């Protein structure tokens, strides 16, 4: 029995994680469930899964407490709760499925406390990959990626020596605008949210539409697999069947394939290095017939090169990349800016930023907080 904290339990990854747990009831015991504002859903989940604690934004603390008054579940606020859920000595695995920069603090605390971190929150690695890696080296904490591409890479590297990697081929669905040739300036919110292959939270859906998501994933791979950015190639694969590949020094390429469903990488992160049964529809190559590959249009999707430049510059530049992007995505979702302004603003803010080399964790939070205050 492993004890779990599931952070961001009410979101898309949270839903899939709980479905995975439904099948693995004898393996996992949930101690903490967290959400930001959906207290009604969190109360329902608490009644179903009976955790010791639930965690919610302080604004909804009393509402949640009232809904759970007939139960033994204790209610905490985000401020103390997320620290407790990632440092409680009984917790074996922290699932971090919080979206955006608010996921960084829990990743840091979990790393400080030597936890296994099943990580969906790629933003933490974009912002502070080097700091998180340094902490994990000290404490023995370990990240097991939930992101499907990185799970595919981990699975392709099973039993391999990482020094024999020649390159990683990161596959991308290309998002809803992959077949567009003309400007994306006037695309609508609805069109941008309509991802062809995956159903996900709004923020990552927009990141997929701008392809900033793939830029983030390149940075995530740099930190997870200790590679230089130029060792990672991005290729459009619209079917999302090959979830990524590793090319080794002898020219051999190993890939992981499967129908797109996040339950698979989530389960692998929870049962790693073991595999257990998962009853999902199976890949049928006869039915699939063909798979396609092409290069991303880097003019239509400037986010890819902006992200690569940011990781090459390093220091606090990826923090600016992450946080300006996050704020601009929410502005786009509120109809306040155009789709193409998201990445344009990111570029402008990076150009203005005075980079700090080898930032401390505190300095990373200072840069992040300053951007939120100024641009939000
Ligand atoms: P979502 O919007 O569906 O869910 C986000 C969760 O985070 C919710 O439970 C919400 O309550 C919580 N949350 C939001 N703001 C918070 C805050 N300030 N403090 C505490 N909790 C907060 O998002 P999602 O699609 O589930 O994505 C979650 C993370 O997983 C993101 O980092 C995303 O990039 C990553 N990811 C998602 C998918 C996917 O298929 N959805 C795939 C790969 C990676
Ligand atoms: Mg992904």
Q: What is the pLDDT of residue 121?
A: 98
- Strand locations in the chain (E): 2-7, 28-34, 53-56, 74-77, 93-96, 116-119, 142-145, 165-172, 232-236, 242-248, 253-257
Same-domain status, 141 and 157: no
For residue 231, pLDDT over 90 is answered with yes
For residue 104, pLDDT over 90 is answered with yes
108-122 mean pLDDT: 98
Q: What is the pLDDT of residue 63?
A: 98
Same-domain status, 140 and 174: no
Q: What is the pLDDT of residue 78?
A: 98
Question: What is the C-alpha to C-alpha distance for residues 266 and 14, in angstroms, rounded to an integer?
Answer: 10
> Could you report the per-residue pLDDT of 35-91, keeping only the tens digit for each?
999 999 999 999 999 999 999 999 999 999 999 999 999 999 999 999 999 999 999
Q: What is the pLDDT of residue 75?
A: 98
Q: What is the pLDDT of residue 336?
A: 98
Same-domain status, 43 and 174: no
Q: What is the pLDDT of residue 359?
A: 98
Number of domains the chain contains: 2
> Could you report the per-residue pLDDT of 347-360, keeping only the tens digit for each?
999 999 999 999 99
Ligand 1 mutation target, pool 43, 54, 76, 120, most atoms within 8 A of CB: 120
Cβ atoms 206, 333 nearer than 8 A: yes
Using alpha carbons, select from 31, 24, 129, 127 the residue that is nearest to residue 81.
31
Reported as half-sphere exposure (CB side, CA atoms, 13 A), residue 53 has a value of 23
Q: What percent of the chain has pLDDT over 70?
A: 100
- 36 in a structural domain: yes
> Could you report the per-residue pLDDT of 256-295, keeping only the tens digit for each?
999 999 999 999 999 999 999 999 999 999 999 999 999 9
182-199 mean pLDDT: 93
Q: What is the pLDDT of residue 291?
A: 98
- 270 in a structural domain: no
Same-domain status, 20 and 134: yes
Model confidence at 255, pLDDT cuts 50, 70, 90, reads very high
Ligand 2 centroid from CA 50, angstroms: 30
Ligand nearest to the CA of 261: 1
What range does the domain containing 108 cover? 2-145
Same-domain status, 225 and 83: no
Q: Which residue's CA is the nearest one to ligand 1's atom 4?
A: 11
Lining residues, ligand 1, CB within 6 Å:
8-14, 35-36, 38, 78, 97-99, 102, 120-123, 147, 198, 200-201, 203-204, 262
Same-domain status, 141 and 163: no
List the 93-96 sheet strands across, edge first.
Answer: 74-77, 53-56, 28-34, 2-7, 93-96, 116-119, 142-145
Model confidence at 30, pLDDT cuts 50, 70, 90, reads very high
Cβ atoms 343, 331 nearer than 8 A: no
The encoded tokens of residue 176 equal 């809803």
Same-domain status, 204 and 332: yes
- 332 in a structural domain: yes
Q: What is the pLDDT of residue 352?
A: 98
Ligand 2 centroid from CA 75, angstroms: 32
- Strand locations in 217-300 (E): 232-236, 242-248, 253-257
Q: What is the CATH number of the domain that holds 130?
A: 3.40.50.720
Model confidence at 312, pLDDT cuts 50, 70, 90, reads very high
Q: pTM of whole model > 0.85?
A: yes
The encoded tokens of residue 267 equal 């389960």
Question: What is the C-alpha to C-alpha distance for residues 358 and 138, in angstroms, rounded to an integer?
Answer: 17
Q: Which residue's CA is the nearest one to ligand 1's atom 40?
A: 200
> Could you report the per-residue pLDDT of 117-156, keeping only the tens digit for each?
999 999 999 999 999 999 999 999 999 999 999 999 999 9
Model confidence at 216, pLDDT cuts 50, 70, 90, reads very high
Using alpha carbons, select from 151, 76, 140 the residue that is nearest to residue 114.
140
For residue 198, pLDDT over 90 is answered with no
Q: What is the CATH number of the domain that holds 222?
A: 1.10.1740.10
Mean predicted lDDT score pLDDT of the chain: 97
Q: What percent of the chain has pLDDT over 90?
A: 99
Ligand 2 centroid from CA 163, angstroms: 24
Question: What is the C-alpha to C-alpha distance for residues 244 and 135, in angstroms, rounded to an integer?
Answer: 27
Q: What is the pLDDT of residue 196?
A: 87
For residue 197, pLDDT over 90 is answered with no
Atom of ligand 1 nearest to the CA of 122: 32
Same-domain status, 98 and 236: no
Same-domain status, 104 and 161: no
């Amino acid at each position: 029995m492993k004890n779990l904290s599931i952070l961001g339990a009410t979101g898309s990854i949270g839903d899939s994680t709980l479905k995975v747990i439904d099948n693995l009831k004898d393996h996992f015991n949930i101690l903490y469930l967290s959400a930001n504002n959906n207290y009604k859903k969190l109360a329902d989940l608490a009644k179903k899964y009976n955790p010791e604690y639930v965690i919610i934004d302080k604004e909804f603390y009393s509402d949640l407490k009232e809904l759970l008054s007939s139960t033994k579940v204790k209610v905490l606020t985000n401020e103390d709760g997320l620290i407790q859920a990632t440092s409680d000595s009984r917790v074996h695995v922290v699932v971090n499925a919080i979206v955006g920069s608010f996921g960084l603090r829990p990743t840091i605390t979990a790393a400080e406390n030597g936890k296994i971190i099943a990580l969906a929150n790629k933003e933490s690695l974009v912002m502070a990959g080097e700091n998180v890696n340094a902490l994990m080296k000290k404490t023995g904490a370990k990240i097991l990626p939930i992101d499907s591409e990185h799970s595919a890479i981990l699975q392709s590297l099973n039993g391999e020596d990482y020094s024999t990697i020649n390159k990683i081929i990161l596959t991308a669905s290309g998002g809803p605008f992959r077949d567009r040739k003309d400007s994306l300036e006037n695309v609508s919110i609805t069109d941008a949210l309509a991802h062809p292959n995956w159903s996900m939270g709004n923020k990552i859906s927009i990141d997929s539409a701008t392809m900033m998501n793939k830029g983030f994933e390149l940075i995530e791979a740099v930190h997870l697999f200790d590679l230089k950015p130029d060792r990672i190639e991005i290729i459009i694969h619209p079917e999302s069947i090959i979830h990524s590949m590793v090319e080794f020094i002898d020219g051999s390429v190993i890939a992981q394939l499967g129908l797109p469903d996040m339950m698979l990488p989530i389960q692998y992160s929870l049962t790693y290095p073991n595999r257990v049964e998962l009853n999902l529809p199976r890949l049928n190559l006869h039915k699939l017939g063909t798979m396609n590959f092409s290069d991303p249009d880097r003019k239509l999707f400037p986010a890819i090169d902006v992200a690569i430049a940011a990781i090459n510059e390093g220091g606090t530049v990826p923090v600016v990349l992450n946080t300006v992007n996050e704020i601009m995505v929410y502005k786009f979702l509120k109809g306040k800016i155009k789709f193409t302004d998201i990445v344009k603003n990111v570029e402008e803010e990076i150009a203005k930023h005075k980079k700090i080399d080898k930032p401390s964790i505190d300095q990373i939070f200072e840069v992040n907080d300053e951007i939120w205050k100024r641009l939000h």
